[in-house]
Amino acid sequence: MLQILQSYKSGELWLADVPVPACGNGGVVMRNAASFVSAGTERMLVDFARKNLIGKALAMPDQVKKVIRKMKAEGIFSTLEKVQAKLDQPIPLGYSCAGIVEEVGRNVSGIVKGDRVACGGAMYANHAEFNFVPKNLMVKIPDGVSFEDASCATVGSIALQGIRQCDVRLGETVCVIGLGLLGILAVQLFKASGAIVIGFDPNPRRCKTAIDMGADLAIYEMPEVAAMDFSKGRGVDAVLITAATKSNEPVTVAGEICRPRGKVVVTGMVGMDIPRDMYYKKELDFKLSLSYGPGRYDPEYEEAGHDYPFGYVRWTEQRNIEAFLDCVAAEAVTPSKIITHRFTIDNALDAYDLLLGKKNEPYLGVVITYQGTGSHVAPINRTVTLPVKRSPAALGQLGVGFIGAGNFTKGVLFPQLRKIEGIRFKGLCTATGMNASETGKKEGFAYATTEYRQLLDDKDISVVFVTTRHNTHARFITEALGAGKHVFVEKPLAINREQLEDIKKALAETDRLLMVGFNRRFSPHAAMISDYFSGRTTPLMLSYRINAGFIPRNAWIQDPETGGGRIIGEVCHFLDFVSFVVGTQPISVLASSISAGSDVLIDEDTCTIAIKFYDGSIANINYIATGAPELAKERCEVFGNDSVATLDDFRYTGCFGKLGKRKLKGKQDKGFSGELDAFFKAVRNGGPFPIPPESLLATTELTFLIGESIQNKSIKYLQ
């Protein structure tokens, strides 16, 4: 399928041929008929992407601070690799479209194949022939409303949410500052609600359009005088700012024309240095309008599909879209009258030449159309052959397939795998076609797909990497092992015991290798500590502190059903490390967490874990989410045989005592290269497992027991 993409790094725009997205739970795959170009937002994205690195840094100082903190914690080169991977990720453009439902996922009710739907949301309702859209980001299109009019619904809901924030009553006077697409729609919606509407825009042509669309007055100069005259010297009851400018002038003008104790609402991109004296003396109410409405930017609402109760949140973003379409059906709002340009998807890049001023034409509403409802429709093709950048497969090369390609995969695994000889990237599968296609091209994969079974059925693929969200690991592992593939999975192995049992059965029925990305044991620092204590005659005592940092509750890793939580999702790393250093299996665990009584902090994210091993060794792990980010992430101390080893963030390790002295210092090495080398060596040699299966299973079981120990306040024993 065709989709418009933009490079985040260079700003380049292109029309890409990408696989049709997979249909996940809680959403639908829809075939686009029309998508609306948001001139202000999309031009802003294009302009930002075209800035150089310095320009981007100046525009996003908070992100620069995060990068600097990451450099201090993980090193300059490691951080730059991750930043580069992020910059290389293309951006899908568009967030408002309409079309026909082609496939319906599980947990979606009231929608069937063939329904006409209007869809919203960046990353979902894109300028593409097909989109996967979660159920809370779409509504059915009323009879009589065209696809073109419906494609404007998300943009219209932004205007509608701003109007709700203004809370204007019948007969009150309101001024709309900025008469672009958003402003014109706001004018019509205000008129439909019974308000008296003044429009202001420095462009006389747009003022005329506002009058034609129902404004009582539209002015392009001296708004202060005109607004006061029109309101009989009282000032307007509310001002809605829909302008797009870095200038602070709209906020200043709004304060001047607003009556005492009136409202100023900003829904556009403007400077917001509020003139305090003016706003203070008038006691003005200044508000920001949240895009489409309540639910926006909440993954529980948008991605997980958890709606807000109607009686408590009357107007969500979905209900705003629905209300806007009802206004269109009643002809109170007429988007078709402000559409000035139409482009087919094949010529869609011309729309951005228009936005960037290359065509020197006035514009307002811009629509991209598709062949989605005609007789010549594009097929649902979920696999795309990619241009081969690497040399053809040589005899003996191992074919590698990837399921998943997130930031870690692109920033860590791919750079390491490029250094390994004798492997060939064959198939890359992700849920979104854009990610599969564009990442596949960059990394030299033979094809991109959104159907993972394509990889399992490919006889040229010997090794499958699984780097998806945690709840999917077990399913992909068992199916890949069953298909005769060697499997490398990023941690964790599983997020519940049922999944772990499925993996045990799959391992018992195959001779293929399974590797979990417990990289730390493959670091030269871990190897030196293990070797240092190899001749010990006493048990070991380990103290491992992890300054893990805060992750908010609404992050997917914190969801028990998706990520499993941080103990299952990350603490498993450190359990594997201490098991490796001790050299025997754990037998029991006792864990305790803080009791914060907070809606922000998750107690289990800051915990202490005591593990007893078969040989009498003990490991204490302190996992901390409440520490200062300036502190290095990891420090481990190992005691035994009148000797000590200290590990500082995999940059420095020192050993001293009766067992002698050793030292290792240099660039941070957490073992990513070592784990991949060990895995592919085992694959080529037919074994043994780089990490024994019983160790993988025990570490995963231990994460479950830690959670139970915290809850029950008791020691838990491994069977």
Q: What is the mean pLDDT of residues 381-405?
A: 82
Question: Is the pLDDT at 90 greater than 90, yes or no?
Answer: no
How far is CA 342 from each of CA 104, 158, 492, rounded to the nearest angstrom?
Answer: 29, 22, 48
Q: Where are the domains of the chain?
A: 2-151+334-369, 168-288, 396-517, 520-672+679-717
Top-tier CATH class for 396-517: alpha beta
The most confident of the ranges 10-24, 79-93, 321-335 is 321-335
Q: Quick one: fold of 168-288?
A: Rossmann fold (3.40.50)
> What pLDDT, on the 0 to 100 scale, is given for residue 236?
95
C-alpha to C-alpha distance for 383 and 59, rounded to whole angstroms: 38
pLDDT at res. 47: 74
- Is residue 33 pLDDT above 90, yes or no? yes
pLDDT at 616: 97
- pLDDT tier, 536 (very low <50, low <70, confident <90, very high otherwise): very high
Torsion angles phi and psi, residue 308, rounded to 5:
-85, 145
Encode burial over 323-344: b for 16+ CB neighbours within 10 A, e otherwise. bbbebbbeeebbbeebbebebe
The whole-number average pLDDT for the span 515-537 is 97
Just give the CATH number of 2-151+334-369: 3.90.180.10
Class in CATH terms, 520-672+679-717: alpha beta
Q: Sorting pLDDT into bands at 50, 70 and 90, what band is 74? A: low
Q: What's the confidence (pLDDT) of residue 377?
A: 66
Q: Is the pLDDT of residue 267 over 70?
A: yes
Taking the alpha carbons at both ends of the chain, their separation in whole angstroms is: 52
Average pLDDT over residues 57-61: 67
Which one-letter DSSP state was computed for residue 59? H
| pLDDT for position 170 | 93
- Which position has the higher pLDDT, 78 or 154? 154
Smallest CA-to-CA distance from 38 within 85, 97, 79 is with 97
Taking a C-beta distance cutoff of 8 angstroms, is the pair 187, 216 a contact?
A: no
396-517 and 168-288 share a CATH fold = yes
pTM of the model as a whole: 0.87
List, for residues 466-487, the tens digit of each pLDDT value: 999 999 999 999 999 999 999 9
Question: For residue 224, what pLDDT is reported?
Answer: 87
Residue 89 has what pLDDT?
A: 77
- pLDDT of 301 over the 70 cut: yes
Q: Rounded to an integer, what is the distance from CA 616 to the centroid of its chain?
A: 44
- Tens of pLDDT, residues 125-179: 999 999 999 999 999 999 999 999 999 999 999 999 999 999 999 999 999 999 9
pLDDT band at residue 283 using 50, 70 and 90 as cut-offs: very high
What digits encode the pLDDT tens for the residues 309-318?
999 999 999 9
Q: Quick count: other Cβ atoms within 10 Å of Cβ 660?
A: 9
